[in-house]
């Protein structure tokens, strides 16, 4: 029997229980073992829960799990940065394999935790931290043996994609966000979703693996979707295009660029028809060419499913203990980020108008909002102009046209 210590019984933790319960026989047939949740760490022992739990397995003391010698795998699903990090570190030091869905922890402590796992000769797996249920990281690690990856690009946040899809269908931003929260897609603090922090964490993990060079959160330019308005959707739809929040890392001879930003995609883009909580990720390899991964990027069962694929790999001895973080030292050249941009400013003055006119390839509206498509420009130059004109973040929306 394989005993698991489950940390957290929220959306993801209860999904893990649900799948284990419904697939007990199949899991035994494949792995050759009964998989048993031996203890579950919760904050409140007396909380009423909508799922059946074996009596006596809940605890509010992490040490009960840490000190249990029969537990060989920890599934960390707390969603908490500080506690999650502490639990994972202690578990690895105590000789337990770890599976986590906690992208905040993986992103912040990636190098340290992968090195610790290597030193201890244990598995540290985090498939559920990027792309929800999509089997992405495992495939990426496999491709890395054969390919130089030159680009990673994708829709990595289900909540933002849900909001943007609903807005394109006429719903108000806040109503769409409320539904995404009710469906269990959003983070505890949905600011992490709409401001792009969650996408940035996932891109940091993906990019570090793909380029074999540590790329930190602060190496990635960040612009979210918080200031988008119905009028932006209207203009973008008139162009026969769709708007997505996209994370993109590209490597060049001189270095790499890394950015999370709203992007306008046309019908030929692989991202155009990615709706609601779906995620999609494009990898470019020098041998395999383009690979596109698509699936449920958020939600209870897809995320729990990803966790359990990691658990299966550990039980079947398929997980490596060596750190997958490479030793390349690439230069960050975000300063060279450029493109043609959609820009809407909800503040009109003669001065603003004449400056916008000077950078516009096309003026779409000049009444209560100024809306333009810019010429091809450096992102930094546009941001500098907005600063000089004292236009606050909530007064404009800026999105790059994909091509
Ligand atoms: N809040 C995240 C999302 C959950 O919306 O994608 C899955 O990582």
Predicted confidence (pLDDT) at residue 403 exceeds the cutoff of 90: no
pLDDT, position 66? 98
Q: What is the pLDDT of residues 375-386, one digit of tens each?
A: 999 999 999 999
**d(CA 187, ligand 1 centre) in Å:** 6
Q: What is the pLDDT of residues 226-285, one digit of tens each?
A: 999 999 999 999 999 999 999 999 999 999 999 999 999 999 999 999 999 999 999 999
**d(CA 176, ligand 1 centre) in Å:** 15
> Of all protein residues, whose CA lies closest to atom 1 belonging to ligand 1?
186
CATH homologous superfamily of 136-296:
Dihydrodipicolinate Reductase; domain 2 (3.30.360.10)
Predicted confidence (pLDDT) at residue 188 exceeds the cutoff of 90: no
Residue 78: alpha-carbon gap to chain centroid: 16
Ligand 1 pocket test: which of 184, 275, 298 has the largest number of ligand atoms within 8 Å of its C-beta? 298
Q: Per residue in 55-86, is it b (16+ CB within 10 Å) or e — as a string? A: eeebbeebeebbebeebbbbbbbbbbeebbbe
Mean pLDDT, residues 157-163 taken together: 98
| Average confidence score pLDDT of the chain | 97
Q: Where are the alpha helices (DSSP H) in 145-190?
A: 158-168, 173-182
| Extended strands (E) in 57-180 | 58-59, 71-76, 97-100, 124-125, 149-155
- How many angstroms separate the Cα of 221 from the Cα of each of 118, 216, 224, 235? 31, 11, 10, 25
Q: Record the pTM.
A: 0.97
The residue behind tokens 């940065």 is 81
Q: What is the pLDDT of residues 93-115, one digit of tens each?
A: 999 999 999 999 999 999 999 99
**d(CA 101, ligand 1 centre) in Å:** 10
- How many angstroms separate the Cα of 394 from the Cα of each of 172, 229, 380, 398? 16, 10, 18, 11
pLDDT, position 348? 87
Q: Which atom of ligand 1 is nearest to the CA of 186?
A: 1
Half-sphere exposure of 240 (CA within 13 A, CB side): 4
Q: Which atom of ligand 1 is nearest to the CA of 162?
A: 5
Q: Indicate if 337-401 has the same CATH topology as 2-132+303-315.
A: no
Predicted confidence (pLDDT) at residue 167 exceeds the cutoff of 90: yes
Tell me the C-alpha distance between 37 and 16, whole Å: 10
Ligand 1 pocket test: which of 81, 195, 297 has the largest number of ligand atoms within 8 Å of its C-beta? 297
From the CB of residue 322, how many other CB atoms can be counted at a distance below 10 Å? Answer: 10
Structural fold of domain 2-132+303-315: Rossmann fold (3.40.50)
Predicted confidence (pLDDT) at residue 133 exceeds the cutoff of 90: yes
**d(CA 155, ligand 1 centre) in Å:** 11
Share of the chain above pLDDT 70, in %: 100
Q: What is the pLDDT of residues 58-84, one digit of tens each?
A: 999 999 999 999 999 999 999 999 999
Where exactly are the structural domains of the chain? 2-132+303-315, 136-296, 337-401
**d(CA 231, ligand 1 centre) in Å:** 26
Reported as a pLDDT band with limits 50, 70 and 90, residue 367 is confident
Which residues are identified as catalytic?
Answer: 202
Ligand 1 pocket test: which of 84, 133, 186 has the largest number of ligand atoms within 8 Å of its C-beta? 186
Q: Which atom of ligand 1 is nearest to the CA of 103?
A: 8
Class of CATH domain 337-401: alpha beta
Q: Which of 268, 229, 217, 265 is nearest to 245 (CA)?
A: 265
Reported as a pLDDT band with limits 50, 70 and 90, residue 356 is very high
Q: Which residues line ligand 1 (CB under 6 A)?
A: 132, 157-159, 185-187, 193, 198, 297-298
């Amino acid at each position: 029997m394989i005993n698991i210590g489950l940390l957290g019984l929220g959306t993801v933790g209860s999904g893990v229980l649900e799948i284990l319960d419904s697939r007990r026989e199949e899991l035994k047939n494949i792995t050759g073992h009964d998989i048993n949740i031996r203890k579950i760490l919760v904050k409140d022992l007396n909380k009423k829960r909508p799922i059946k739990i074996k009596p006596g397995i809940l605890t509010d003391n992490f040490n009960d799990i840490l000190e249990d010698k029969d537990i060989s795998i920890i599934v960390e699903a707390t969603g908490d940065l500080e506690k999650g990090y502490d639990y994972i570190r202690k578990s690895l030091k105590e000789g337990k394999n770890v599976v986590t869905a906690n992208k905040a922890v993986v992103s912040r402590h990636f190098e340290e935790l992968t090195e610790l796992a290597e030193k201890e000769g244990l598995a540290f797996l985090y498939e559920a931290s990027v792309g929800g249920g999509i089997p992405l990281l495992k495939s990426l690690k496999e491709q890395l043996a054969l390919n130089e990856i030159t680009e990673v690009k994708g829709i990595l946040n289900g909540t933002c994609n849900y909001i943007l899809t609903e807005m394109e269908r006429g719903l108000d931003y806040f109503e769409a966000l409320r539904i995404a929260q009710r469906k269990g897609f959003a983070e505890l603090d949905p600011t992490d979703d709409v401001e792009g922090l969650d996408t940035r964490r996932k891109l940091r993990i993906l990019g570090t693996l793909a380029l074999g060079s540590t790329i930190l959160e602060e190496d990635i330019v960040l612009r979210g979707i918080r200031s988008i308005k119905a009028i932006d959707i209207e203009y973008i739809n008139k162009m026969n295009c769709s708007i997505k929040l996209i994370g993109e890392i590209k490597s060049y001879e001189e270095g790499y660029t890394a950015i999370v930003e709203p992007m306008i995609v046309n019908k030929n883009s692989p991202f155009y028809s990615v709706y609601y909580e779906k995620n999609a990720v494009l990898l470019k390899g020098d041998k395999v060419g383009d690979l596109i991964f698509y699936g449920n990027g958020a939600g209870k069962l897809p995320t729990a499913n990803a966790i359990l694929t990691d658990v299966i790999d550990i039980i079947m001895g398929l997980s490596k203990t060596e750190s997958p973080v490479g030793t390349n030292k690439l230069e960050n050249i975000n300063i060279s980020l450029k493109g043609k941009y959609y820009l809407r400013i909800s503040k009109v003055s003669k001065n603003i108008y004449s400056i916008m006119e000077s950078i516009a390839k096309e003026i779409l509206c000049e009444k209560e909002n100024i809306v333009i498509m810019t010429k091809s420009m450096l992102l930094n130059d546009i941001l500098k102009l907005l600063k000089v004109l004292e236009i606050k973040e909530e007064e404009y929306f800026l999105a790059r046209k994909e091509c």
